[in-house]
Amino acid sequence: MASKYDGLARIIIQNVGGKGNVISLTHCITRLRFKLKDESKANTDILKSTDGVVTVIQSGGQYQVVIGNHVPDVYDAVMAIGKFQAAAQDGDEGGAADGKKQNVGAKLIDTLSGVFTPVLALLCAAGIIKGLLGLAVFLLGNSFKDTGVYMLLYSIGDGFFYFLPLMLAVSSAKKFKLDNFTAMTIGAAFLYAEIKFPAIASGETVLMTLFSGTFLETNIHETFFGIPIIWPSAGYGSSVVPIVFSVWFAAKIEKFWKKIIPDVVKNFMVPLMTLIIAVPLSFLIIGPVASWLSSGIGNFCQAIYNISPILAGALVAFLWQILVIFGLHWGLVPIMLNNYQTILYDRFISTNFVASFSQTAVVLAIFLKTKDKKLKSLAFPAFVSGVCGVTEPAIYGITLPKKLPFYISCVVAAIGGGLMGAFGVTKYMSGGLGVFGFPTFIPGEAAIAALGITDVLYDIKMIAIIIVITMVLAFVATMLLYKEDEPAQVKAPEPTVLEKKDIAGEEGTIAAPITGRVIPLSEVKDEAFSSGALGQGVAIVPAEGRVYAPCDGVVSALFPTGHAIGITGTNKAEVLMHIGMDTVKLEGKYFHIKTEAGKTVKTGDLLVEFDMDKIKEAGYDVTTPVLITNSAEFVDVSGETGKNVKAGDVLISII
């Protein structure tokens, strides 16, 4: 079934270097995450200028195309148009055969995002349910816990967190290329042991104690052929790190057995031999070591926080949005999840909560202050998205390009994070983003009992107050410090429609959209155009700053900066007019759009005006390629060069 994002999907695939350049593709909340064989083949500037693409980030070994809240629909369209197989979504370990070798940091970020992205939405949903149920118990009393409503809904929230190892087993299997059901069996073994072996779980019989007197102290209750079975004090329910490491190890084992086991018995012998080695070693070595690592990370975070809660909170909140820009925040998400499982709360990483509200308040101030209609139209949707916790549209579309608003957002977020540290505000579970994250500051039963909490609503009350303070500071600072760019001076308006006599644009021809001198594409000082990679056509060195419709059709692509426009003609030609080289960097300055996307136009209708002299003064070449981007669908695309044309003259012939 056709999607309204099919056109955008084609542009994205073409400008990441084509299907053959894609190793893998996944997506998170707002961005497509490509792993490319050669990132130099991607046309980053073109993608950044594409209507529907917020920006492009190259970080962590990934080529990230930021889309916004509708990224799942765009992802589906890209997968369908590119005819990518499901396996193309799986992670890759960066082997040289598939592309450049990733460094350790990039590989770690890529792995973490691949493992945790698929379960993030459900983590949010389950956290909201648990938080709201905790609030209901506080308001209605403990008797509410005995009702069918509570038990059924709690089974959704708590059930997901308890069986989180199973969920992570599936996403880890995709990342490390292990059979899904083999990975789930390992996760099930961890959880089943807690249910089936009460001597291990309850500690009725102690055979020996390891690492006595340290945070690694562990009582041994059972052995496996004489080898101690080290059972972590927190168990494996809701755990994060042990299952990820275990699946990674099992993937290595499975790969080995696939090579040496005969095909006739491979179907059952590979999983058998994989599990019989991976599961015992997971219980005896991998799980315990990973659990100790988890406890160490939790204690380390708490130790840093204890040195200076204010400084720790301010630092995390200040850096969070900067990390989001490069997709590096994934390195901290597992630490936060680990803290929830090992110490039942998080005060360190969770100070990032204020950052989205700071960003949102800045955008609201810009929305109210700006007189730029285009900016105002972008700001309000970004504000709504920010309230819901997704700030990429605000960051990439508004605050980061203008710099000062982004700085204000980060500084004020640091103030909010410092206040969270000063008042010891605690987050007890993963949950929703933005306003949907408030229930995560309500402690659950285990946290209340273990931490001796008396005021269940303390944290949610404090975070609400801090959020209000943060938003007010960000809003006021932006209203006082942000100044609009001076609007460009334009010449007196000219007629909006060409005279219709002797005009080109009939079937088989494309009219000149600009008056000027025609040159071959090979003379354009940009390889993306001169090579013909984007389509056949010609270029015009403009003599005046007006662009007209080159044929009857529909405005199929209109870039917010006004520097490029696409027309899908009734003659089936897809015409792209790109005004100048690198003029996207002007961010719309000196360009004035006279039409809108989706509008039906006639040959000669005025589309865009641009101040040619000001653009030249700014140091940009105004040469304008006129391309037939679907040239492959025609037998011939040709145009006469080395001559002067007036807008409306025949420019290109198509067969």
Among the options 221, 301, 578, 592, which is catalytic? 578
Amino acid at 218: T
d(CA 29, CA 264): 43
Q: What is d(CA 312, CA 351) in angstroms, rounded to the nearest whole number?
A: 9
Q: Which long-range contacts (CB under 8 A, 24 or more apart) does 643-646 make?
A: 643/517, 643/518, 644/516, 644/517, 644/518, 644/543, 645/512, 645/515, 645/516, 645/517, 645/518, 645/540, 646/512, 646/515
- End-to-end Cα distance, the chain: 30
- The SS3 assignment for 86 reads helix
∠ Cα 578 580 582 (to 5°): 95
CA 279-343-163 angle, 5° bins? 40
Which residue, among 241, 463, 459, has the nearest Cα to 341 in the 3D structure?
241
> What whole-number distance in Å separates Cα of residue 553 and Cα of residue 241?
56
Residues across the chain: 655
Structure tokens at 133: 């149920």
Check if 410 is active-site: no
Residue 198: enclosing H or E segment and its boundaries? helix 198-202
HSE, CB side, 13 Å, CA atoms: give it for residue 127.
26
28 catalytic per annotation: yes
Strands 227-230 and 509-511: unpaired
Residues 6+ apart with CB under 8 A from 235: 194, 201
Determine which one of 27, 28, 301, 563 is catalytic.
28
Supply 236's token pair: 């494996």
Q: What is the DSSP string of 583-621?
A: GGGGTTTTEEE-S-TT-EE-TTBEEEEE-HHHHHHTT--
Q: Which residues lie below 8 Å from residue 572, measured CB to CB, with a gap of 6+?
A: 630, 633
**In which residue are the tokens 């004489």 written?**
226
3-state secondary structure 434-463: HHHHHHHHCCCHHHHHHHCCCCCCHHHHHH
Give every CB contact of residue 184 below 8 A, 6+ residues apart in sequence. Answer: 166, 169, 170, 173
Query: What gap in Å lies between CA 597 and CA 579, rounded to an integer?
Result: 17
CB 560 within 8 A of CB 614: no
Q: Under 8 Å CB-to-CB from 240, ≥6 apart: which residues?
A: 164, 165, 168, 294, 334, 337, 338, 341
Q: Which of 70, 119, 27 is nearest to 385 (CA)?
A: 70
Count other C-beta atoms under 10 Å from residue 498's C-beta. 20
Just list the catalytic residues. Answer: 28, 578
